[in-house]
Amino acid sequence: MSELPSVTFKAIGIVRSELKEREHRDVKDIVSEIILDPAMTEALDNLDEFSHIIVLYWLHRSHQPFPMKVHPRYRKELTPVGVFASRSPDRPNPLGKTTVKLLERRKNVLKVQGLDAIDGTPVIDIKPYIPGLDSVKNARAPQWMTKS
């Protein structure tokens, strides 16, 4: 394969959260703040008209080099799968993506619920969650992914 292009991101903000370390816990009720560069304040106009947003962030504490196979959902009893078939934070480009509830916007600060990023995580982008575009009808997942 010919050489692949290099990609560079510039963080637009940072996460402030009670999550200080990588943990495997339910985050649906955790409230965090995304503090954006003040130069981005105007770019947030009208975002608070949406109930939910998609947050893209850099998993800055991922383990490198990344493993090619991982246990799904950190469950050792499950057969390892390729890292691209998992949501492991340890990946070739450790990008995180979470849809969160937007609770409040104050200038360049967003208060959100359900963000699974740890304190200090660089934020790469924010997008509105649009139900007609961001939900998929009749999507399927393997049985091992849906086991509790």
Note whether 38 and 48 are same-domain residues.
yes
Q: Which residue has the higher pLDDT, 70 or 110?
A: 110
pTM: predicted TM-score of the whole model, two decimal places: 0.89
Q: For residue 23, is pLDDT > 70? A: no
Over residues 54-72, the mean pLDDT reads: 88
Confidence of residue 24 (pLDDT cuts 50, 70, 90): low
Q: Which two tokens stand for residue 35?
A: 């503090």
Q: Is 57 exposed, middle or buried (0-12, 13-18, 19+ CB in 10 A)?
A: buried
CB 126 within 8 A of CB 98: no
CATH number for the domain harbouring residue 24: 2.40.30.70
95 φ, ψ (degrees, to nearest 5): -95, 135
Domain-located, residue 49:
yes
Cα–Cα distances in angstroms (integers) from residue 139 to residues 53, 76, 85, 136, 145, in the given order:
21, 26, 15, 6, 13
Q: For residue 22, is pLDDT > 70? A: no
What is the rounded CA–CA span in Å between residue 30 and residue 17?
8
- The pLDDT tens digits of the residues spanning 107-125 come to 999 999 999 999 999 999 9
Residue 83, domain extent: 63-92
